[in-house]
């Protein structure tokens, strides 16, 4: 009987993640760069050249703006900052407001910003909060890394369908279009067609840094301003599912509030 039970345990599905209690950080991930928790923040302007996407801008030795929608979470700026920047492990980088992902730090403290929610997102939430949504994914000239993470979001651990989010083969049957990649010239029309074919009300979701800002490339033409921006190159499956839950209104989340809280707690412990 013991051997039989061991065999059953091998094939037993892994325990699902609890998205209700999930925090914005992961100790095993590099995460986004943030000012070091120690006092005396001072950053040299030359560090701008280190960022491969141009997402880091130094206005003065005490003021820096980091566009986390362009951040690859590569860690290069941290390595070149002489201890002024740190890898945070903060990986839940998503918002319905693109400007919320552009954070201005003054002496290591993020400036206040209130996330704006569009009327289209509000309408989408009313429809999908209790029923979930279906989406058609468009691989728009990326390297397939984000697609791999989207595929993983449906396995027994992350179980996207348990959060009532499903992939469908045709945009005719979808409520949203999710695109990954910087949208090269040959994918502008296919993405537009997928969007036009999707019945309304609907949402456009930029999944991954390349989709949000172009990343290392020039981002192509979009059908409209996305309704959800998910940073990361690529974003992890748990981040993707959490972002979808946030878009539906099933998860209360504000990137700026969570980041400010995270940094405040780090500074208080230093």
The mean pLDDT value for 227-239 works out to 97
The set of residues, in sequence order, having a beta carbon less than 8 Å from that of 210 and lying 6+ positions away, is 142, 146, 180, 181, 182, 216, 217, 219, 233
Which residue, 204, 230, 228, 237, is CA-closest to 215? 230
Name the nearest CA neighbour of 208 among 200, 199, 219: 219
Residues 84-109: what's their mean pLDDT? 96
For tokens 């290069």, the residue is 76
Q: 208-226: b or e for each residue (b if 16 or more CB lie within 10 Å)?
A: bbbbbbbbeeebbebbeeb
- Predicted confidence (pLDDT) per residue in 64-83, tens digit: 999 999 999 999 999 999 99
pLDDT for the residue numbered 11: 41
Q: What's the DSSP call for residue 90? A: B
pLDDT tens digits along 127-143: 999 999 999 999 999 99
Beta bridge partners of 65: 57, 104
Residue 92 sits at the vertex; the CA angle it makes with 88 and 94, to the nearest 5 degrees, is 125
User: For residue 246, what are its two tokens?
Assistant: 């946030």
Bridge partners (DSSP) of residue 35 are 85
* CA pair distance 124, 40, nearest whole angstrom: 45
Query: Are the CB atoms for 164 and 123 separated by under 8 Å?
Result: no
Predicted local distance difference test score (pLDDT) of residue 204: 98
pLDDT for 158 beyond 80: yes
The token pair that represents 231 in the structure block: 């940073």
pLDDT band at 6 (very low <50, low <70, confident <90, very high): low
In the chain, the domains with their CATH numbers are: 33-114+254-269 (no CATH), 119-248 (3.40.50.12280)
Tens of pLDDT, residue by residue over 7-19, are 444 444 445 688 8
In the chain, pLDDT over 90 holds for what percent of residues?
86
Distance CA 247, CA 129 (A): 9
Taking only the tens place, the pLDDT of each residue in 106-124 is: 999 999 999 999 999 999 9
- Reduced to 3 states (helix: H, G, I; strand: E, B; else coil), residue 185 is helix
Over the chain, what is the mean pLDDT?
A: 92
């Amino acid at each position: 009987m013991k051997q039989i039970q061991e065999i059953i345990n091998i094939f037993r599905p892994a325990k699902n993640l609890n998205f209700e209690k999930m925090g914005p950080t992961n100790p095993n991930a590099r995460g986004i760069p943030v000012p070091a928790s120690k006092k005396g923040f001072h950053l040299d302007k030359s560090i701008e050249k280190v960022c491969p996407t141009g997402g880091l801008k130094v206005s003065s030795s005490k003021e820096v703006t980091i566009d986390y929608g362009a951040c690859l979470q590569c860690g290069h700026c941290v390595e070149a900052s002489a201890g002024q920047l740190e890898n945070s492990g903060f990986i839940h980088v998503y918002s319905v407001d693109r400007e919320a992902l552009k954070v201005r730090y003054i002496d290591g403290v993020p400036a206040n910003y209130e996330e704006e929610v569009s009327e289209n997102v509000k309408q989408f939430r009313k429809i999908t909060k209790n029923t979930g949504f279906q989406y058609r994914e468009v691989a728009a000239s990326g390297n397939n890394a984000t697609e791999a993470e989207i595929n993983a979001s449906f396995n027994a651990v992350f179980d996207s369908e348990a959060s009532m989010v499903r992939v469908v083969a045709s945009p005719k049957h979808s409520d949203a279009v999710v695109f990954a990649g910087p949208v090269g010239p040959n994918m502008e029309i296919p993405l537009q067609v997928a969007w036009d074919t999707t019945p309304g009300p609907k949402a456009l979701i930029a999944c991954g840094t390349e989709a949000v800002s172009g990343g290392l490339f020039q981002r192509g033409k979009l059908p409209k301003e996305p309704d959800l921006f998910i940073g990361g190159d690529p974003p992890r499956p748990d981040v993707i599912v959490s972002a979808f839950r946030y878009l539906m209104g099933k998860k209360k989340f504000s990137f700026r509030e969570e980041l400010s809280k995270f940094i405040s707690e780090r500074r208080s412990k230093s």
